[in-house]
Amino acid sequence: MTETHVNTVANSSASAPASLASDRPLGTPLGEHPTRVLFLGSGELGKEVTIELMRLGAWVCAADSYAGAPAQQVAHEYRVLDMANADALQSLFDEVKPDIIVPEVEAIATDVLAGAAAAGAQVVPSAEIAAICMDRERLRVLAHEELGLPTTPYRFAGSLEELRAGAAEVGYPCVVKPVMSSSGHGQSVVRSAEAIDAAWVEAQEGRRAADEGDVSRVIVEALAPLERELTVLTVSSSAGIVTCAPIGQRQESGDYRESWQPATEPAGEAERAQEIARAAVEGLVARARKAGETGWGVFGVELFVLTDGSILFNEVSPRPHDTGMVTMASQRLSEFALHARAILGLPITAEHVALSLPNGAVAASHAIVVAGDGEAEFTNVAEALAEPSTDLRIFAKPEVHGHRRMAVALAIGADEADARAKAGRVAEALEIDVR
């Protein structure tokens, strides 16, 4: 059963065909014929895109598995449902009648999503791209075996026996991940054959949707001599494909903690990273176009930079990326504004993705992860933001249980070290009570 919250009533009765996606009516979200956008997942990234869409005059409904999610707090309407439940998701589509559907999470009934696209809704970036990027196996086969992008050696396994054999082939140390999960859930670094059985168990029990009871296939890949990781935000729009300046990042347990833009890199590295990102997105968008879909939106392309300077493709997020929150300080148009414009059919060119920083300056973001059980209250905000060229976004998630990312600090500095230090000081100065 779904929970419904309605701030306003809109009466559009049919979704626009994909052929009209580049000329959608805007400016009458409460009128008779608004452009209706439905978010499947309503976290902090979806909240920022929702705000940008509303600034452009679209009507937005935000759906999630719980009430009070960040995007639900600012959208015209919200719904609460299990989006992996095919019947519940179809009922949502039948009720809302969205022109544009924006998947923001992985746990979605992809068959229903494909059906909505076939019926004329614009799925962002496309129903097939969403399905491919949720499945590490399909994505890796496309990237490496079809597009020829450089990756780490890998094998796939559907059983413990196949995993043991695959790990022996790629060698130790290696990394084991469920083919359908995210944010480090179910992932293990395995340094010897004795630990491979435990990695299989972690992949099955630690992944997202582990309670569904099925056996997850896994990918096992060589642990590359990693120097650092990059994200290249790549935008597909009615004007073609463009890339943003690479973003550097620091992770803990597979989850982002800091990011900075532009990333410090040797001469030529940014261009090589952008070439790989563009090739990956071009391949995905070609799939979308072949199916009659637009393929428009922001893609977060994740890359590995090895100690020898080579760059490898890792994964693609077919939506704004958490490391891209830094663009709220570094670019005139953040990744969220770019996403909103692109999915509405507006052109995105190199000028739109340019940095807006002083010469030589760097912007940084610092994720604020809160531990506890209850509501998180932020105080001492004035002191935290007293330093010039700093900012803060509090996500307003209703509760934290265990550990949860609840805010992000932003800063602009003279260089990478200065920007990261400034953002860190904002985070450290905040007083956060959980009760």
Other beta carbons within 10 Å of 195: 18
* Partners of 100 in beta bridges: 37, 122
* Partners of 355 in beta bridges: 331
Secondary structure class of 155 (helix, strand, coil) = strand
Written as six digits, the tokens of 18 are 């994909």
Would you name the residues annotated as active-site residues? 182, 184, 302, 315, 322-323, 405
Judge whether 157 and 218 are in contact, CB under 8 Å.
yes
52, 208, 144, 174: CA torsion to nearest 10: 130
Written as one letter, the residue type at 340 is: A
Written as six digits, the tokens of 178 are 């469920």
Q: Is the dihedral of CA 82, 85, 91, 96 positive or negative?
A: positive
> 280: which DSSP letter?
H
The span from the CA of 138 to the CA of 134, in Å, is 9
Other beta carbons within 10 Å of 311: 21
The span from the CA of 72 to the CA of 91, in Å, is 19
**What does the DSSP assignment read for 215-251?**
PPPEEEEE---EEEEEEEEEEEETTEEEEPPPEEEEE
